[in-house]
A and B are shown apart, each in its own frame.
Chain A
């Protein structure tokens, strides 16, 4: 009787009985090891780099949070959020284990809100002439325009900080990241939220790193021995090495 090829238990394909298989020394599979991946380190490094350079001109949030009240991001309370957006792991043929390149993309979300601005002091000056008031009103800057200026300033700040040569490696050990680049600035449409205008955008930041699967490199891989000791077999050898 031929063994069932669908039964992949060790030994079955060699025609061994369940009793014989029970004598095999099959190592147990250890629980997978955990290790910090570099993308998380880089994510935190971007947050730290931007946060240290914010100087009160914007606020850093280190995650992709839920929506904020428009009042919370008004003026210099404008908000920057950093989050890992996606990544590629290019695979070369035959590569199964060991370190692998990780092409990372981070989203840096910007949120600002603004009111309209006007020379209220000129308008509210006692005795101001209608001509002076009309001039002040004509120079009014609407909220969408102000929000646009705020977010453009924020693009400028974030871009200059990230592309500064001193932040080439985000203050990480040399070689942790490479090929960093701000690849895109994206601006959404202004949105009226209550009595303010909110404007959002995204700065796309890409860089490469190397991820090392914990427990794969430098340790002995788990395997099943194909050499079996069959009770009652005089030769005690099976498989490809058998030579009756």
Chain B
């Protein structure tokens, strides 16, 4: 096993282990994925809820809510692509038992990154019921 393969294998711990949280994905063709591919284990990923940004008007650092979900590619039934409409449900708070809240992909940051070591980042945006 080379180093990249070892890193990918370790994602089961670093992304899907105790630091991970449950995630569900709904693909554009309406298929819901709640379990890891070819297993009966729940799909899990690393979720960052907030990020630090700079207020361009004042130069101050501010913390903004911008969920970023990192998933192991080999655990996915289908790999999300930029421009596709997916629904991503994540816990409302960083808790295993928190209710899931649905999001969509950000239109300005396509999913991607980390392909060389086998993970994918999803930048999420709020979604509401259309009227």
Stretch of A15-23, A191-199, A231-239 lying at the B interface = A191-199
Question: Interface digits, B83-104 against A, CB 8 Å rule (1 contact, 0 not)?
Answer: 0011100000000000000111
Chain B residues with CB below 8 A from A193, complex form: 64
Q: A120-B128, A134-B28, A195-B66 are known contacts. Are A140 and B58 too (CB-CB below 8 A)? A: no
- In the complex, are the beta carbons of A141 and B130 less than 8 A apart? yes
In chain B between 99 and 118, which residues have their CB closer than 8 angstroms to a CB of chain A? 102-104, 106-109
Partner of B57, one of A67, A137, A196: A67
Q: Is the pair A116, B28 in contact by a Cβ cutoff of 8 Å?
A: no
* A-B interface contact total, Cβ < 8 Å: 97
In the complex, A235 Cα to B124 Cα: how many Å? 95
Q: A115 and B128 in contact (CB under 8 A), knowing A66-B57, A130-B29, A195-B66?
A: yes
Nearest residue (CB) in B for A138 is: B85
Q: Are B126 and A137 in contact (CB under 8 A)?
A: no
Contact B130 A137 (CB under 8 A): no
Known: A67-B55, A143-B107, A144-B107. A131 touches B126 (CB 8 A): no
Chain A 102-122 interface 0/1 with B at a Cβ cutoff of 8 Å (1 = within): 000000000000011111110
Q: Tell whether, in the assembled complex, residue B126 and residue A132 are in contact, meaning their CB atoms are under 8 Å apart.
A: no
Interface string of A71-85 (1 = CB under 8 A from B): 000000000000000
B31: which A residues are within 8 A, CB to CB?
130
Name which residue of chain B comes closest to A121, CB basis: B129
In the complex, the answer to whether A196 meets B125 with C-beta atoms within 8 Å is: yes
- Shortest CB-to-CB span from A105 to chain B, Å, is 22
Residue pair B102, A137 in contact (C-beta under 8 Å): no
Q: How far is the CB of B67 from chain A (nearest CB, A)?
A: 6
Min CB distance A133 to B, Å, is 3
Contact A137 B28 (CB under 8 A): yes
Say yes or no for A129: interface residue by CB 8 A criterion: yes
A152 near B: Cβ within 8 Å? no
Supposing A67-B55, A193-B64 touch, asked if A120 and B127 sit within 8 A by C-beta, the answer is yes
Contacts A119-B130, A195-B67, A196-B125 given; does A140 touch B104 at CB 8 Å: yes
A141 CB to nearest B CB, Å: 6
In whole angstroms, what is the CA distance A195 to B87 when docked? Answer: 14
7 smallest CB-CB distances across A and B, nearest first, come from: A130-B30, A133-B30, A115-B126, A134-B30, A117-B130, A194-B64, A194-B66
Kindly list 12 other residue pairs between chains A and B, CB separation below 8 angstroms, not including A118-B85, A123-B87: A116-B128, A117-B128, A118-B127, A120-B130, A123-B26, A137-B28, A137-B86, A138-B85, A140-B104, A142-B104, A192-B109, A194-B65
| CB<8 Å pairs between A and B, sample of 30 | A67-B58, A70-B64, A115-B126, A115-B127, A116-B107, A116-B125, A116-B127, A116-B128, A117-B127, A117-B130, A119-B129, A120-B102, A128-B30, A130-B31, A131-B30, A133-B26, A137-B86, A140-B85, A140-B127, A144-B107, A190-B108, A192-B106, A192-B109, A193-B64, A194-B65, A194-B66, A195-B67, A195-B103, A195-B124, A196-B125
